[in-house]
Amino acid sequence: MITLKLAREGNYETVTLRLPTTPGEVGEVFATLDAATRYAGEVQITGVDSGVPSLAKHLKGADLTDPDAFDKLNRLSEKIDGMDERQRNIFSGALDAESVSSLDDALRISDSLEAYTFVPNVRSDEELGRYVAVAGQIHGDRRFPEEAWPYLDFTKIGVEYYAGHGGAYTPSGYVMRREAVQEQTQGTKSVFELYLLHGQIRYRLDLPAEEARLEAAKRSLGIEDFAQAAIYRTRCGMDPLAGLLPMDCVSVEDANELARTIREMPDGDLLKYLAVLSVEQPADFPGALRLALELDDYERITEGAYEYGQSVLQRFGADEELISVIDGYMDFEQFGEDSMKEDGIRQTEFGLVRRLSSPFDGQTPVQQMF
The burial class, CB within 10 Å (0-12 / 13-18 / 19+), for 32 is middle
Q: Per DSSP, what are the bridge partners of residue 346? A: 353
Decide if pLDDT at 1 tops 60: yes
The pLDDT-based confidence of 293 (bands split at 50, 70, 90) is very high
DSSP 8-state symbol, 68: T
Phi, psi of 20 (to 5 degrees): -70, 155
What mean pLDDT do residues 270-275 have?
A: 90
For the chain, the maximum distance between any two Cα atoms, rounded to a whole number of angstroms, is 94
Sequence spans of domains, the chain: 2-111, 117-185, 192-297, 303-369
SS3 at position 232: strand
From 132, 133, 64, 130, select the one nearest 102 (Cα to Cα): 64
Summarize pLDDT for 119-161 with one digit per residue, the tens: 888 999 999 998 888 877 666 666 777 777 778 889 988 888 8
- CA 234/CA 205 separation, integer angstroms: 10
From 89, 88, 70, select the one nearest 79 (Cα to Cα): 88
Q: How far is CA 149 from CA 131, 132, 272, 288, in A?
A: 12, 12, 17, 23
Whether 216 and 252 have beta carbons less than 8 Å apart is answered as no
Q: Which residues contact 84 (CB under 8 A, 6 or more apart)?
A: none
Q: How far is CA 26 from CA 12, 39, 79, 216, 305, in A?
A: 19, 19, 20, 66, 46
Question: Within 13 Å and on the Cβ side, how many CA atoms surround 101?
Answer: 1
The pLDDT-based confidence of 348 (bands split at 50, 70, 90) is confident
Which of the residue ranges 60-69, 180-189, 221-230 would you say has the lowest mean pLDDT? 180-189
Decide if pLDDT at 187 tops 60: no
**How high does pLDDT run on average in the chain?**
85
The pLDDT-based confidence of 245 (bands split at 50, 70, 90) is very high
What mean pLDDT do residues 243-259 have?
A: 94
Whether 240 and 276 have beta carbons less than 8 Å apart is answered as no
- The per-residue pLDDT for 180 is 55
Query: pLDDT higher for 46 or 182?
Result: 46
The pLDDT-based confidence of 362 (bands split at 50, 70, 90) is very low
The burial class, CB within 10 Å (0-12 / 13-18 / 19+), for 206 is middle
Q: Which residues contact 335 (CB under 8 A, 6 or more apart)?
A: 309, 312
Which of the residue ranges 11-15, 282-286, 312-316, 321-325 would you say has the lowest mean pLDDT? 321-325
What mean pLDDT do residues 290-308 have?
A: 86
